[in-house]
Amino acid sequence: MKLFFVSITVTFFVILVAVGYLSRDTDPLLPSYAVERFHSHVPFAAGLLALLASGVVAFVGGTWMERERTSFKGELTRTMTVLRGERDVLTRILDGMQEGVLLVDSSGIILRVNPALRRMLLIGHDVTGKLASEVVSQKELRSLFERARQDALASEEVMVGELSPRRLFVRVTARDGALLAVFVDVTDVRRLETLRRDFVANVSHELRTPVTSVLSAAETLRGSAANNPIASAKFIGIIERNAGRLERLIEDLLDLSRIESQKYNLTCEDVTMRPFANTVLAMFKERAELKRLSLTTDIDPSVSTWADRRALEQIFVNLVDNAVKYCPEGATVTLRAKSEGDTCAMMVEDTGLGIEEKHIPRLFERFYRVDTGRSRELGGTGLGLSIVKHLAEAMAGEATVQSAVGKGTKFIVMLPATEQAATSHSIETSGTLAAATSASEPPPPVSGGGEASEAG
């Protein structure tokens, strides 16, 4: 448009100049017919000059505008490239975050949701553009959003999910009515805090009982039983028994600590299972005879596993010891092993009373007991099965249990059959131990009654 007005102005100016110049007085010496002819061509000459001037202006102006257009196009392209790059970086950052991010505009429309939040709140990919009140169903979150709009900042821990409950720490900031909410999953952190508190409480309780017994017996010995040999022997036996219990508890705690901190050095080798099983059962021969228990093996001579011999012995000593302790007289305890592809399946099976189904999922937890009083009476620490589980996982295997009331119990330990199988196994010791520790459910306080549960 500017070029058009410039062209019209220049043309008009050229016409005026040309007409003025050509219309000036001519030389008086020229004949009159020549003067008349000259004046008759003035308009044509003026128009020609104006057209020439317009062409020049149009050419120069067009060249200038093309240059400006090219420059503007290049600048626009560079700006769009920068914006796309920033958008892609922001998208990669949001997609890679473990924290959930929700952006809502002043009218309550969802502008942005990252994948982490979709997983936390179990929402679909088509929520962008919808009202946040339609997508977020938790009353606590809606209330938090309203508080943020009023106070510009609000934060709170909320529980979400019914099938798989999660605890989320949510921080919401508001600006000009728009909301930015950041969700942090603190479920595992809170679970670990609970585990730590319960572990300290359980250890304190386990230590307090024998220490109290030792102190009471010692005080009695110092007093009324000092000159009574029979009473003295009785209370000395109490001290010895509880001192032994303390020793076993401390040793189990140290073993569990070494396994979880990866300081339990494993030297794996090929272990032939039949002679190994016979060696383990021989340790319990006398105790089994006193209870008239039958100890048997069912193992093919060719069956072997790739394991640390000392750790494997600790696993099966714990399992057979449990069976001998808790099986009634006349029961049978069988140690089986068989090869299943690249895995060796080893079992300690008994024909005892069995375990109720409600206890099965928690048998491998620290300090969990089926029968608290009986377990302590028989010298159990509540850590045996936890040690079994952690040692099996440290050797790229797993430990499970099957049981039915009145039919007996079967503990199954699956380990690699060969070195190659152990090497190719996806479970690594460091990751296994950390995951096993954090994934455990919090054990109940052991001070409550008779269904707290043993296994060790």
For the chain, the average pLDDT equals: 77
Tell me the pLDDT band of 359, cut-offs 50, 70 and 90.
Answer: confident
CA distance 339 to 301: 11
pLDDT for residue 75: 82
Enter the DSSP assignment of 26.
Answer: P
pLDDT one-digit tens code per residue, 57-94: 666 767 777 787 788 887 888 888 888 887 777 778 77
Residue 254: CB atoms within 10 Å: 12
Domains in the chain: boundaries: 2-78, 98-185, 189-260, 268-439
CA distance 62 to 70: 12
Tell me the pLDDT band of 30, cut-offs 50, 70 and 90.
Answer: very low
Burial (0-12, 13-18, 19+ Cβ within 10 Å), 272: middle
Tell me the pLDDT band of 335, cut-offs 50, 70 and 90.
Answer: very high
pLDDT for residue 191: 83
Tell me the pLDDT band of 277, cut-offs 50, 70 and 90.
Answer: very high
- Backbone φ, ψ for residue 157 (5° rounding): -95, 130
pLDDT for residue 441: 40
- Please check whether the domain covering 98-185 is classified as CATH 3.30.365.10: no
CA distance 315 to 67: 83
pLDDT one-digit tens code per residue, 366-421: 777 776 544 455 556 678 888 899 889 888 899 999 998 888 999 999 999 888 87
Judge whether residue 32 has pLDDT over 70: no
pLDDT for residue 312: 93
**Fold topology of 189-260:** Helix Hairpins (1.10.287)
> Which residues, at least 6 apart from 249, have a Cβ–Cβ distance to it below 8 Å?
206, 207, 210, 381, 383
Judge whether residue 123 has pLDDT over 90: no
- The residue ranking higher by pLDDT, 434 or 300, is 300
* Class of domain 268-439 (CATH, top level): alpha beta
Judge whether residue 101 has pLDDT over 60: yes
Summarize the confidence of residues 138-144 as an average pLDDT.
Answer: 86
Q: Are 240 and 210 in contact (CB under 8 A)?
A: no
Same fold, 98-185 and 268-439: no
Hey, is 358 helix, strand or coil? Answer: helix
* Token reading at 203: 């250890």
Which stretch of DSSP H or E encloses residue 143? Answer: helix 139-151
CA distance 208 to 212: 6
Q: Hey, which residues does 154 pair with through a beta bridge?
A: 172
Integer Rg of the chain from CA: 45
pLDDT for residue 12: 56
Tell me the pLDDT band of 280, cut-offs 50, 70 and 90.
Answer: very high
pLDDT one-digit tens code per residue, 165-185: 888 999 999 888 889 999 999
Tell me the pLDDT band of 44, cut-offs 50, 70 and 90.
Answer: low
> Which residues, at least 6 apart from 12, have a Cβ–Cβ distance to it below 8 Å?
50
Q: Are strands 100-104 and 178-185 parallel, antiparallel or unpaired?
A: antiparallel
Tell me the pLDDT band of 451, cut-offs 50, 70 and 90.
Answer: very low
- Please, what's the b/e burial string for 301-327 (b: 16 or more CB within 10 A of its CB; e: otherwise)? eebbbbbbeebbbbbbebbbbbbbbbb
